[in-house]
Amino acid sequence: KTGYITFDPGFSNSGSCTSTITYMDGAKGVLRYRGYPIEQLAETSCFVEVCYLLLNGDLPSRAEYQRMSVMLNDHSLVHEDMQIFFQNFPRSANPMGILSSMVNALRSFYPELMTTEEAIETTFLRLISKVRTMAAMSHRISRGHKIVYPRPDYSYCANFLNMMHDSPVRPYEIKKEFVEALNMFWVLHADHEQNCSTSTVRAVGSARANIYAALSAGIAALWGPLHGGANRAVVEMFEDIRKSGGDVKKAVKRAKDKNDPFRLMGFGHSVYKTYDPRAKIMKKMCDKVLAVANTEDPLLDIAMELEEVALKDSYFTDHNLYPNIDFYSGIVLRTLGIPVEMFTVMFAIGRLPGWIAQWKELMDDPFKKLFRPRQIYVGETMREVLPIDER
């Protein structure tokens, strides 16, 4: 335990905090969850193990893992009355808007207070399991397809793929390598210190709003194209490059032009000033899943050429702009058959255990204060109000 370090009161009002969950070194490209390097976790641990790690502080024993897996399956169904909500969204509704609404709505179905360890654990696992189920449901219903229910004999990730793709006319074949890829994808997204959406979750939690409201707000923040929405924007950027003849040099030129709002999506990071360690792992995963699917993706060639051209250009290296997690993630998702409109939802499912762990850490902090940053006022000095006919 790091113990409690007292800071200037303004420290915790500003939303800055001490944390024991995730460590990042932006200069060296280091990322660790509870002290474990992301490279080791991505290679050796499944997403459910990493959920346990983030929520409880260490990796589970086999018995703890099995108990968590059973509880996740027990809580994998969504209240049948919630299907009416899904049915009444326009088919074209953005799934991030649906997810944010539905997570907030979950509170109405589970109003019990989190006053015991058991109620807290149940709420956390209910959210981790049902958000995954709701994501698949929103996809199926948006396509006019019957929803597919989770199966008790399938793992967390296998269930998701099956709920997304199974069909009465073409039963979905669960590929072990795709399940492994999805586990790794969600492990890489599971937490990332005080990023925009996590800070949002903490800000809402600091007002003592319930966890469903805090997570719903986090999903809304993640939706933005500069944050979680970037994985979708990256693939749309690759598609635009491909449609205009594959000229990556033109995209690089535009990204450098200060008069052009265009940015190289999937490049740059607020903390990493070198290659995002998650992007390195995601890049390797592209080749692996494409080989299993026995297919090629022309967007991967564009991505790799774009990276090569950009990193040879001093504008990017001088500004410390390197590929981040979103640069290659969309190619993995395309190969897993996930439609582009669901890309940011995939990020949200992965980030859920991190948001929950960060919310819990805040709630457990005896010194927590209401998130209330201050400002530097640069507006009008004091002046008198004139009657309307004299203005």
Rounded CA gap, 157 and 47, in Å? 8
Q: Does 353 bind ligand SDX (CB under 6 A)?
A: no
Q: Does 220 bind ligand SDX (CB under 6 A)?
A: no
Exposure string for 168-177, b = 16+ CB within 10 A, e = fewer: eeeeeebeee
List the one residue from 21, 72, 325, 331 that touches ligand SDX (CB under 6 A): 325
Q: Does 268 bind ligand SDX (CB under 6 A)?
A: yes
269 is a catalytic site residue: yes
Nearer residue to ligand SDX within complex by CB, 68 or 203: 203
Under DSSP, is residue 190 helix (H, G, I), strand (E, B) or coil?
coil
List the one residue from 77, 226, 291, 370 that touches ligand SDX (CB under 6 A): 226
List the one residue from 265, 306, 346, 349 that touches ligand SDX (CB under 6 A): 265
Which contacts of 18-21 are long-range, i.e. CB under 8 A and separated by 24 or more positions?
Answer: 19/193, 19/194, 19/358, 19/361, 20/57, 20/361, 21/54, 21/191, 21/193, 21/354, 21/357, 21/358, 21/361
Stretch that binds ligand SDX, among 57-65, 138-146, 264-272, 367-375 (CB under 6 A): 264-272
Nearer residue to ligand SDX within complex by CB, 164 or 265: 265
Minimum CB separation of residue 117 from ligand SDX in Å reads 29
Q: Pick the catalytic residue: 269, 287, 301, 319? A: 269
List the one residue from 102, 187, 255, 282 that touches ligand SDX (CB under 6 A): 255
Rounded CA gap, 124 and 89, in Å? 26
C-alpha 37: how far from its chain's center?
19
326 is a catalytic site residue: yes
List the one residue from 205, 218, 266, 350 that touches ligand SDX (CB under 6 A): 266
Q: Does 219 bind ligand SDX (CB under 6 A)?
A: no
Rounded CA gap, 130 and 164, in Å? 14
List the one residue from 54, 125, 136, 264 that touches ligand SDX (CB under 6 A): 264
Q: Does 27 bind ligand SDX (CB under 6 A)?
A: no
Contacts of 362 (CB under 8 A, 6+ apart): 17, 202, 205, 206, 368
Under DSSP, is residue 23 helix (H, G, I), strand (E, B) or coil?
strand
Minimum CB separation of residue 276 from ligand SDX in Å reads 7
Asked if 351 contacts 296 with a C-beta cutoff of 8 angstroms, the reply is no
Written as one letter, the residue type at 236 is E
Q: Does 19 bind ligand SDX (CB under 6 A)?
A: no
Exposure string for 82-92, b = 16+ CB within 10 A, e = fewer: beebbeebeee
String of contacts with ligand SDX for each residue 284-313, x by CB under 6 A: ------------------------------
Q: Quick one: three-class SS letters along 254-276?
A: HHHCCCCCCCCCCECCCCCCCCC
List the one residue from 12, 200, 324, 358 that touches ligand SDX (CB under 6 A): 324
Contacts of 297 (CB under 8 A, 6+ apart): 286, 290, 331, 334, 335
Minimum CB separation of residue 271 from ligand SDX in Å reads 6
Q: Looking at the annotation, which residues are catalytic?
A: 269, 326
Residues making contact with ligand SDX (CB under 6 A): 192, 195, 226-227, 230, 255, 263-271, 319, 321, 324-326
